Amino acid sequence: MSTKDPLVAVSAPGKVMLAGGYLVLDRAYTGLVFGLSARINVVAQEIHTSQGVHLTEIVVESPQFLDAQWRYGYHLADHDGGIKVTQLQVGSHITPNPFVETTLNFALTYIARVHHTRRVHSARLTILADNDYYSQPSPSATRFAHFPVPLSAAHKTGLGSSAALVTALTAALLTHYLDPSLFSLATPSGRQTLHNLAQAAHCAAQGKVGSGFDVAAAVYGSARYRRFSPGVLAALPEPGAPGFATALEEVAKGAWDVEVDKEGVGLPKGVAVRMCDVDCGSQTVGMVKGVLAWRGREGERAAEVWDALQGRNEELAGVLREGRTEEIRGAVERVRELVRRMGEESGVPIEPESQTALLDGLSGVEGVFGGVVPGAGGYDALALLVRDDEETAGRVRAFLEAWGKEKGVRVSLMDVKGEMEGVREEDAKGYGEWIR
């Protein structure tokens, strides 16, 4: 297939679940999710070969890290199994990347289904992550930092890198290979197709767990989110299995029961969502299992807590959306109160004592309206609602520096801010030295 342009660049944002962690796993409840200014960028280009040389290879690389290149051969599987990729050895070893491999299986299969007349040509995809996705000892002077470690050894900050990667990679592949009449990020139908494909690939890559809010934020940006029914993807065969291609096309083009309400979220003028990186880390999967086990044991009691928390989350969303700045502090505190109760009753450290003390301290800093331990909670991040000016940011940085020295932990205000926009096409020329 020929491309419209020698280079295609796409970026997708990270996310923060400001309110609705755990609740969003159940379709009866919603979550308030903000997209973030930190983005995963993917540049797609055709691999040019000497005359008479024919390649069937997809090369994916992340040049910010050591040894971060993955090469794949691909073939059309029998019995409507779609396009199946096979990882090739680079140097003396093979390092699997399930998110990349699964995304290629799904995206290339869909591309081959909707574009019947031409073959998939070889391509190179370059992944570049904005710096706030990974903890760094000192700030980088460039937009994309060099890391002297393999990708597996980098410390993530919990901004949703896997969902942003799958979304940006899927969007880059679709935009690179397909004519705008078949796919365009500029159309609602194009975004719906991207959402469905990225959700299916991300869900498969991470073992069919999660609510999908992170992929929805990567596609659409900030929104009030209600998850899709798990049954939407339950009957999808494995890539390469008989019938996978037809089933995937139906999933990609289907009308899901997901709700992504962009009108249901907003921020008062002069207020920003900011993130703090707390370099400790949490095992999110284990925490989710613990909370769901408690909900199963304490059905009626747990339902009371979940229903009450949903009401307080909606109250906070309304305060933010309607610009009632003076009410933010109280609305945040009421949410935190119930989150702590859920943690105490389930035995899961959703807002651990150390985070409670840090949030309480930050709430006393001039210009800080309040903050939460976002998403599933734990020890690795805080989300703050603050006055959007450099004076407030300076006071927060000074407070965190003093706190870190006193407690012996590394905690910092990240550059990333909440923003409304989701996936978008970029000017590929802006990636300069990283593209070869």
CATH number at residue 42: 3.30.230.10
Question: Minimal CA–CA distance to 202: which of 192, 186, 213?
Answer: 213
The region of weakest confidence among 19-28, 36-45, 52-61, 253-262 is: 52-61
Q: pLDDT value at position 410?
A: 87
Angle of CA points 255, 423, 377, to nearest 5°: 90
DSSP 207: T
Same-domain pairing of 185 and 198: yes
The Cα 98–Cα 75 span in angstroms is 18
Q: How many domains would you assign to the chain?
A: 2
Q: Give the CA dihedral 118, 236, 29, 38, nearest 10 degrees.
A: -40
Q: pLDDT value at position 5?
A: 61
Q: pLDDT value at position 85?
A: 95
> What mean pLDDT is predicted for residues 334-361?
96
Same-domain pairing of 22 and 146: yes
Q: Tell me the percentage of the chain whose pLDDT exceeds 70.
A: 95
Same-domain pairing of 247 and 301: no
Same-domain pairing of 276 and 193: no
Q: pLDDT value at position 47?
A: 86
> What mean pLDDT is predicted for residues 105-112?
97
HSE-CB for 158 with a 13 A CA cutoff: 24
> What mean pLDDT is predicted for residues 71-87?
95
Instruction: Identify the residue with better confidence: 191 or 234.
Output: 191
What are the CA-CA distances from residue 111 to residues 104, 120, 236 (Å)? Answer: 10, 8, 17
Helix H or strand E segment including 299:
helix 299-321
Q: Give the CA dihedral 358, 361, 365, 371, nearest 10 degrees.
A: 50
- pLDDT band of residue 284 (cuts 50, 70, 90) is low
Question: Phi and psi for 194 in degrees, rounded to 5?
Answer: -60, -45
Say if 2 falls within a structural domain.
Answer: no
Helix H or strand E segment including 384:
strand 381-387
Q: What is the mean pLDDT of the chain?
A: 92
Say if 1 falls within a structural domain.
Answer: no
For residue 42, list its beta bridge partners.
10, 127
What are the CA-CA distances from residue 85 to residues 63, 74, 109, 370 (Å)? Answer: 22, 4, 10, 47
Same-domain pairing of 242 and 307: no
CATH of the domain at 357: 3.30.70.890
Q: 370 lies in which domain range? A: 267-419
Same-domain pairing of 147 and 229: yes
The region of weakest confidence among 27-41, 111-125, 292-306, 416-430 is: 111-125
The Cα 178–Cα 8 span in angstroms is 11
The answer on pLDDT for 179 being more than 70 is: yes
Same-domain pairing of 328 and 208: no
The answer on pLDDT for 176 being more than 50 is: yes
The answer on pLDDT for 91 being more than 80 is: no
The region of weakest confidence among 282-296, 322-336, 395-409 is: 282-296
- Say if CB 220 and CB 191 are below 8 A apart: yes
Same-domain pairing of 102 and 219: yes
Q: pLDDT value at position 280?
A: 60
Q: pLDDT value at position 283?
A: 57
Q: pLDDT value at position 92?
A: 76
> What mean pLDDT is predicted for residues 161-190?
96
Q: pLDDT value at position 1?
A: 43
> What mean pLDDT is predicted for residues 312-333?
97
Say if 81 falls within a structural domain.
Answer: yes
Same-domain pairing of 107 and 183: yes
Task: Pull the structure tokens for residue 331.
Answer: 């609305």
Q: pLDDT value at position 118?
A: 57
Say if 13 falls within a structural domain.
Answer: yes
The answer on pLDDT for 52 being more than 60 is: no
- Say if CB 320 and CB 301 are below 8 A apart: no
- pLDDT band of residue 117 (cuts 50, 70, 90) is low
Cβ burial 47-69 (10 Å sphere, 16+ → b, else e)? eeeeeeeeeebbbbbbbbbeebe
- Say if CB 194 and CB 219 are below 8 A apart: yes
Same-domain pairing of 58 and 194: yes
Say if 44 falls within a structural domain.
Answer: yes
Helix H or strand E segment including 161:
helix 161-177
> What mean pLDDT is predicted for residues 377-401?
96
**Helix/strand/coil percentages in the chain, nearest 5:** 40, 25, 35
- Coil vs helix vs strand at 381: strand
Same-domain pairing of 62 and 138: yes
Helix H or strand E segment including 72:
strand 69-76
Q: pLDDT value at position 116?
A: 73
Same-domain pairing of 275 and 201: no
pLDDT tens profile 133-153: 988 777 788 889 999 999 988
Say if 282 falls within a structural domain.
Answer: yes
The answer on pLDDT for 373 being more than 80 is: yes
DSSP 28: T
- Say if CB 107 and CB 83 are below 8 A apart: no
